Amino acid sequence: MPDFETPVSRRHALVAVAGLCGAAPWAAARTAANSSAPSIELLSSAPLDVDPAGHLVSEKFDGVRAVWDGHSLRFRSGRPMAAPAWFTEGWPDAALDGELWGGRGRFDVTSASVRRSVPDDAEWRALQLMVFDLPGAAGSFAQRAQRIESLVRGAPTGSLMAVDQAELADRAALRSRLDSVLRGGGEGLVLHRADAPWAAGRSTAVLKLKPLQDAEAQVLACEAGRGRLTGVMGALRVRNTSGIEFRIGSGFTDAERRDPPAVGSWVTYTHRGHTPSGVPRFASYWRAAAADL
């Protein structure tokens, strides 16, 4: 069994799976879009024993990150989103950061809906923008959360929803809330320091609490499988946002091994922490990354 916790050696033989792992046609476009990507806050992983004191806690919605700039709806990459005109009609001119969400366990359906160049009205009627912050706004997060509720109440549309934020008394209450969300098919929780000003980039003021940690990485190459995997992809060589290169060889369905993510595309993987050298432990493929949208 390959050791997927060991950094990829420069001498490791990379074997392209013929016809299966070509370059992603949108890779160049994604790079261009990133140059004009909106400024957003990014979540850090919370330790399992995190104390909720001083935080506002909400459900982590498993949808597609979207930013409303006051005039148009965009992916986090900066690429415009082909939303129906009626969906954003009456939205405020303030910048909104949120998650386009169609319900628990429906990420794949939501992702497919919002990626269409010609929007399907029926699909979009099942979605809402769950608003959790105001990019660039002044004040503490608690103050911004109050303003979000006011902005949503003033919008004549059902397509905007303010994310519920709650204060929890202690770790036991936090664990109870997490267990409730997980039993209902949810992904986890977000803890945002109530006194935190808005700041772009990765922040320890905004934490995600999940049974498994997850992160994103870009596909560098495919490796041919062996044994029962002969003729299909055996593993992906990837580089994460910290610049660490490693291999992902588990978590794929047979269909995904026959038609693996393209070189240049981004994937989301789960892991259980990191080695001292920063390599994700027990990295396993989860799905195509929302960051690639």
Kindly give the confidence (pLDDT) of every residue in the chain, 293 residues in length, as a single tens digit, with 9 standing for 90 and above.
Answer: 333 333 343 333 344 444 566 665 544 444 444 546 778 999 998 987 899 999 999 999 999 999 999 999 999 889 999 999 999 999 999 999 999 999 998 988 999 999 999 999 999 999 999 999 999 999 999 999 999 999 999 887 889 999 999 999 999 999 999 999 999 999 899 999 999 999 999 889 999 998 888 889 999 999 999 988 999 999 999 999 889 999 999 999 999 999 999 999 999 999 887 888 889 988 999 988 864 44
What is the per-residue pLDDT for 274? 82
Separation CA 275–CA 195 (nearest Å): 33
Q: How far is CA 194 from CA 1, 141, 145, 170, 172, in A?
A: 46, 5, 9, 15, 19
Q: One of 60, 76, 79, 144 is an active-site residue; which one? A: 60
Q: Which CATH architecture group holds 27-33+212-292?
A: Beta Barrel (2.40)
Cβ-based burial of 144 (10 A; exposed 0-12, middle 13-18, buried ≥19): buried
What is the per-residue pLDDT for 23? 63
* CA-only gyration radius of the chain, Å: 20
Separation CA 169–CA 222 (nearest Å): 48
What is the per-residue pLDDT for 7? 39
Residue with tokens 């004040």: 139
CATH topology of domain 62-162: D-amino Acid Aminotransferase; Chain A, domain 1 (3.30.470)
- The partner residues of 136 in beta bridges, in order of sequence, read none
Q: Is 208 a catalytic residue?
A: no
Question: Under 8 Å CB-to-CB from 139, ≥6 apart: which residues?
Answer: 147, 197
The closest of 97, 42, 99 to 70, measured between CA atoms, is 97
- Print the SS3 string covering the chain: CCCCCCCCCCCCCCCCCCCCCCECCCHHHHHHHHCCCCCCEEEEECCCCCCCCCEEEEECCCCEEEEECCCCEEECCCCECCCCHHHHCCCCCCCEEEEEECCCCCHHHHHHHHHCCCCCHHHHCCCEEEEEECCCCCCEHHHHHHHHHHHHHCCCCCCEEECCCECCCCHHHHHHHHHHHHHCCCCCEEEEECCCECCCEEEEEEEEECCCEEEEEEEEEEEECCHHHCCCEEEEEEEECCCCEEEECCCCCHHHHHCCCCECCEEEEEECCECCCCCECCCEEEEECHHHC
What is the per-residue pLDDT for 272? 81
User: Could you state, in order of their start, the residue ranges of all structural domains in the chain?
Assistant: 27-33+212-292, 62-162
What is the per-residue pLDDT for 157? 82
Q: Are 39 and 76 in contact (CB under 8 A)?
A: no
